[in-house]
Every structure is written in C-alpha cells, then in structure tokens.
Amino acid sequence: MIDESRLPLHPAVGMAGRILFTLIFFLSGITHFTDIDGYTSLMHESIPFRTFWVLISGVVELAGALMILFNRGARLGGWLIALFLIPVTFTVHGVEMVTTENAEMQAIQMSFFLKGLAMTGGALLISQFGVRRNGE
C-alpha cells in the first residue's frame, strides 16, 4: 500500500487546480449575462421563466467559483456549483442526448452530460472537504 501521507503537497498545485476548476464557471457565468437569449434557447420550451433561471444560474456560478477560487466559503461554493450543475446537466444535456435524432449531436451531448457529471463530482468533493490553505 502507498502511504498517502508521504505524497508531496504543494500550494501552487492546489491553486492551479482551483483556477482550472473554476475557469469554466467564470466564463460561463459571465456569458449568462452577455448572451441571455443564447442560454435561454438551450433550455426546453416547457421550462417556465427561462430568462429568470439563466440569470440566477449565472449568479450561482459566479458566486460558487469565487468562493472556491479564493477559498472563502469553499465548501458552500462547492454546493453552489453542484446546485447549478445537477439541473443543467440533466435538463439541457440529458434531454438533448436522448431526444436529438442526429447521431453526432447525441454523441456531443453525451460528452457534455458526462462532463457535467464529472464536474458535479468535483464540486461535491469540494463541498465535503473544502480546499487546502497554503502549508496545510
């Protein structure tokens, strides 16, 4: 067995991980406000108040990403990102994955769906363990 306590920890690796994890949520969060119509069109027409949900999800994404990146309430930030990802993954990518008739688009949506599940897993890990501070 590997003694995990002997594996190296470096603050720069943790910071790089936080930057890489949160980058997509910053960019997406900003474009929720600069391309409201584009995001609204991604949602199924049967979902009520689509513009409202686009705006709220942009706020949730940005808040969660900031909390994780700057390690200020990182566990809550992880919950916010998971709260964003779960409905988006299923209602946007999951629905498109099973309803589109184009095989290529099905494959693309499956990739997006699986990416959403993986990022949800990462966010849930952060919600449970937080992020390390330098030197911890």
Residue 20 falls inside a structural domain? yes
| Predicted structure pTM score | 0.87
CA distance 31 to 36: 7
- As a whole number of Å, the end-to-end CA separation of the chain is 23
In the block, which residue shows the tokens 């027409």?
45
56 and 104 in contact (C-beta within 8 Å)?
A: no
66 and 21 in contact (C-beta within 8 Å)?
A: no
| Count of domains for the chain | 1
Boundaries of domain holding 107: 9-129
Residue 2 falls inside a structural domain? no
Residue 48, helix vs strand vs coil:
coil
- Mean pLDDT, the chain, rounded, equals 91
**pLDDT band at residue 134 using 50, 70 and 90 as cut-offs:** low
